[in-house]
């Protein structure tokens, strides 16, 4: 029996067809993957099932009954739970409150029972194998990779009949992927169907019973797991796997030296660091930028000793930054790309600017050059930043920077966008720039980087 049937579902935004007559079915107890390039309609399909958007036309049947999902409440009433791709955590509430929001238990006086909230959320986390976060943790203080599991736990809590996970593997390392796979298998063994949405065909093929490929807003083909190889999925999507550019044979002189961290960046090279510890990675980046002390040993750029100071001081040393969790933590999403780029060139700031302006810098470069160097991706500097895609947020990097820090640059990118990212890094190194690349993708580190370094211990 089909738990879900979507027939000729259409949805347009501003005259652009996000879904163009999609036909899609999910059977009871199956893990069904949806893949496609960015813009193919994957998230729109999830938003319709979550009640965030209503289709313009078409039919939806759930458990054999035709239904209208008019909002999140009606979706949840059907037993559909959704783990969203890019939803920042609510501040000031715990993981338990996040999971139970809208379904809080009350005591006999009609007051929300915090003790039961914590107990029930804790039991749910343990039941699906999430043991490294506490229901009492505050959501906004967790690393994003752990906060993602809180979102998945809420989806499982609400999804008594169907669980949808939109890009659940984003930002996860190998151990996180194992945990995700275990959760999905537990749901399958309990008879709960799961829709896994991902642009990553490698992740999809490893978990799903069937895979549907979206292309141009249409479901072009559904394959059984035995036929859904990554290469076949990419072929149906009409794209090729991104290839890594060639690396320069002999890097030039040293641009940046940070002895305490064992970091040396030279002209024309990309140096990789696979750092799963978010706190350690942030500390390293802040040390390079001079926002906090760099530890023992002299830190230099072009042989000149660097001083600790506010983020704006990094412009003097021509250091550029494109940081992960841009949409999650950036405070400048409602301004244009042009204005957002200007924030990074603040020269004179009060003493606490390091803390106040760091969120504004995430996703935006710190050098003095112009965004025109990435004009092939950012066509309009007057476009509001929040409507730029994940790839475009990574492109607000200024050509004036001599050292560029890339933090998970290909996260959120499909294969076509990865080609652009890799070509951009190759162009920068060809012009003598030095790049420090943080990535959880070991293959990306190996393919992009001439050298890899470890993260030195704190003092």
Q: Of 347 and 189, which is predicted with more confidence?
A: 189
Please indicate, yes or no, whether residues 428 and 319 belong to a single structural domain of this protein: yes
Report the CATH number that the domain containing residue 359 is assigned in CATH: 3.40.50.300
Same structural domain for residues 422 and 364?
Answer: yes
- Residues 63, 146, single domain; the answer is yes
Element (H, E) at 213: strand 210-215
Residue 6 lies in a domain: yes
Q: Calculate mean pLDDT across residues 209-230.
A: 92
Q: Kindly state whether residue 105 falls inside one of the protein's structural domains.
A: no
Mean pLDDT for 331-339 is 42
| Nearest one of 385, 449, 384 to 422, comparing CA atoms | 449
Same domain, 300 and 225: no
Regarding whether 269 and 231 lie in a shared domain, the answer is no
Has residue 103 been placed in a domain? no
CA–CA gap between residue 178 and residue 176 (Å, rounded): 5
Summarised one tens digit per residue, pLDDT across range 421-441 is 888 888 888 888 889 988 888
Q: For the chain, percent helix, then strand, then coil, each to nearest 5?
A: 35, 25, 40
pLDDT (0 to 100) of residue 229: 92
Mean pLDDT value of segment 260-289: 81
Query: What's the number of domains the chain is made of?
Result: 2
What is the pTM (predicted TM-score) of this model? 0.73
Task: Confirm if 324 and 412 have CB atoms less than 8 A apart.
Answer: no
Whether residue 369 sits in one domain with residue 304: yes
Boundary residue ending a domain (206, 237, 268): 237
Inside any domain, residue 127? no
**Does residue 205 contact residue 230 with C-beta atoms inside 8 Å?**
yes
Same domain? 10 vs 156: yes
Q: Does residue 106 lie within any of the structural domains?
A: no
- Residue 126: what are its φ and ψ, rounded to 5°? -70, -35
In the block, residue with structure tokens 């059984």: 224
User: Would residue 102 count as lying in a domain?
Assistant: no
* 181 and 321, same domain (yes or no): no
| Greater model confidence, 365 or 47 | 47
Residue 79 lies in a domain: yes
Question: 226 and 316 share a domain?
Answer: no
Q: Does residue 115 fall inside a structural domain?
A: no
Residue 4 pLDDT: 95
**What angle (nearest 5°) sits at the alpha carbon of residue 239, between those of residues 22 and 407?**
100
Give the helix ranges, DSSP H, for 91-229.
95-100, 114-127, 144-158, 174-189, 201-207
Decide which of 436 and 173 is more confident: 436
Same domain flag for 202 and 329 = no
Q: Characterize 75-93 residue by residue with b for buried, 16 or more Cβ atoms within 10 angstroms of its Cβ, and e for exposed.
A: bbebbbbbbbbeeebeeee
> Any bridge partners for residue 31, and if so which?
194
> In 3D, which of 389, 452, 394 has the Cα closest to residue 425?
394
Last residue of a domain, one of 210, 237, 264: 237
pLDDT tens per residue across span 25-55: 999 989 999 999 888 899 899 999 999 999 9
Q: Both 292 and 166 in a single domain?
A: no
Task: Point out the least confidently predicted range of 151-160, 242-251, 290-299, 379-388.
Answer: 379-388
What range defines the domain where residue 430 resides? 254-452
Residues 269, 228 share a domain: no
Q: What are phi and psi of 71, to 5 degrees?
A: 180, 170
């Amino acid at each position: 029996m089909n738990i879900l049937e979507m027939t000729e579902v259409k949805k347009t935004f501003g005259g652009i067809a996000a879904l163009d007559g999609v036909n899609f079915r999910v059977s009871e107890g199956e893990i069904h993957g949806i893949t496609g390039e960015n813009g193919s309609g994957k998230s729109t399909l999830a938003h319709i099932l979550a009640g965030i958007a209503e289709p313009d036309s078409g039919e939806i049947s759930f458990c054999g009954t035709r239904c209208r999902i008019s909002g999140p409440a009606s979706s949840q009433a059907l037993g559909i739970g959704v783990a969203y791709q890019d939803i920042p955590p609510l501040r000031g509430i715990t993981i338990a409150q996040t999971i139970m929001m809208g379904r809080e238990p009350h005591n006999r006086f009609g007051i929300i029972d915090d003790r039961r909230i914590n107990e029930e959320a804790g039991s749910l986390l343990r039941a699906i194998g999430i043991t490294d976060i506490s229901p009492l943790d505050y959501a906004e203080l967790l690393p994003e990779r752990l906060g993602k599991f809180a979102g998945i736990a809420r989806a499982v809590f609400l999804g008594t009949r169907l669980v949808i996970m939109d890009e659940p593997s984003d930002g996860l390392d190998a151990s996180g992927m194992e945990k995700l796979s275990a959760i999905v298998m537990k749901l399958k063994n309990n008879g709960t169907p799961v829709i896994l949405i991902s642009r990553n065909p490698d992740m999809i093929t490893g978990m799903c019973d069937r895979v549907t490929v979206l292309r141009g807003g249409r479901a072009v083909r559904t394959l059984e797991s035995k036929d859904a190889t990554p290469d076949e999925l990419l072929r149906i999507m009409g794209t090729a796997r991104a290839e890594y550019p060639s690396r320069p044979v002999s890097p030039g002189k040293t641009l940046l030296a940070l002895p305490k961290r064992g970091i040396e960046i030279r002209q024309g090279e990309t140096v990789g660091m696979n750092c799963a510890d978010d706190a350690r990675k942030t500390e390293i980046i802040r040390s390079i930028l001079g926002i906090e002390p760099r530890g023992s040993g002299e830190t230099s750029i072009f042989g000149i000793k660097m001083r600790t100071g506010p983020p704006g001081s990094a412009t003097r040393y021509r250091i550029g930054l494109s940081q992960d969790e841009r949409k999650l933590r950036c405070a400048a999403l409602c301004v244009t790309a042009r204005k957002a780029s200007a924030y990074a060139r603040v020269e004179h700031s009060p003493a606490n600017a390091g803390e106040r302006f760091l969120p504004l810098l995430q996703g935006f470069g710190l050098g003095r050059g112009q965004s025109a160097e990435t004009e092939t991706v950012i066509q309009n500097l007057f476009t509001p930043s929040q409507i730029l895609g994940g790839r475009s947020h990574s492109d607000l990097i200024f050509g004036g920077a001599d050292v560029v820090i890339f933090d998970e640059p290909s996260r959120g990118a499909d294969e076509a966008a990865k080609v652009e990212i890799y070509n951009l890094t190759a162009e920068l190194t060809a012009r003598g720039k030095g790049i420090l690349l943080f990535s959880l993708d070991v293959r990306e580190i190996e393919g992009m980087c001439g050298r890899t370094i470890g993260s030195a211990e704190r003092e």
